[in-house]
Amino acid sequence: MKTAYLDCFSGLSGDMTLAALVDAGANRETIESELRKLSLGDFWMEWQSVMKTGVHALKLNVIDLHLQQQAEQAKVNPFRVLHSHPHEHRRYMEIVALIEAAGLSRRVTQRALAVFEQIGKAEAKIHNIPVDTVHFHEVGALDSIVDIVGVAIALEDLGIEQLYCGPVPTGNGYVRCDHGLYPVPAPATMEILKGIPLRASTIEKELTTPTGAGIAAALVTQFGPLPSMTVESIGYGAGTRNLPDQPNVLRVMIGTL
């Protein structure tokens, strides 16, 4: 059975997962073509070859072309505008409707909706509101939607039937969210990770994001060490951190049990 193992020794996020799956062999053109079916406006997926503490990895940046145009007109660094622009807020039910109307395959739709359901239920519990009324902040942004739906497309492109994952490191310290400063893991991330084995870490950074936690909670079949499998391909997806003693990458191993 075709299996993927997420070796998340240095964290887990949506962009890291998608980049690692592409680095392991998922067809980038197919992913980008399928994502164009979503009504998300004009965006660009930038794939960069980077080095992370001596490890070669693939880095994904999702760029809103409207914001990039604003930056060019203002004659400032595009990345300054892109990263300082407030996250777009989308309701959970708006994202569900967006995915259901896209005409994606049944399996891709189911997987993507399952991830957003995990995140939506966690946000609903944290804020004590019905899930139908949840407004996503960071997770409702363009890049997060592309990451999550892109992962579902990549898994189907690779023919993955089972997804395994190692213990998830959350990191330590504090992270600034849309509502303010929170301890790591942030409340929604911790809620999503209930029942999932975690790995201790002394790194004072957020290593696992809500999107990464949602992917793990919704799509992973089993958590633990690498199963007995024949590895056929390996991919490395780069995160945004530059850690002093380890590469901020997610390693994905594709093979058969």
Rounded-to-integer distance, Cα 192 and Cα 122, Å: 6
- DSSP class per residue in 4-36: EEEE-TT-B-HHHHHHHHHHTT--HHHHHHHHT
CB 210 within 8 A of CB 11: no
CB 218 within 8 A of CB 114: yes
Q: What is the pLDDT of residue 181?
A: 87
Helices 142-158 and 92-100 sit at what angle, rounded to 10 degrees?
40
The pLDDT tens digits of the residues spanning 194-235 come to 999 999 988 999 999 999 999 999 999 999 999 999 999 999
Q: Residue ranges of the chain with pLDDT lower than 50?
A: 78-86
Helices (H) and strands (E) in the chain, counts: 9, 13
- Decide: helix, strand or coil at residue 98: helix
> Can you give the C-alpha Rg of the chain in angstroms?
17
Tokens 């392991």, located at residue: 24
- DSSP class per residue in 162-189: EEEEPPEE-B-SEEEETTEEEESSPHHH
Q: What is the pLDDT of residue 244?
A: 81
Q: What is the pLDDT of residue 29?
A: 97
162 is written with which tokens? 């089972």
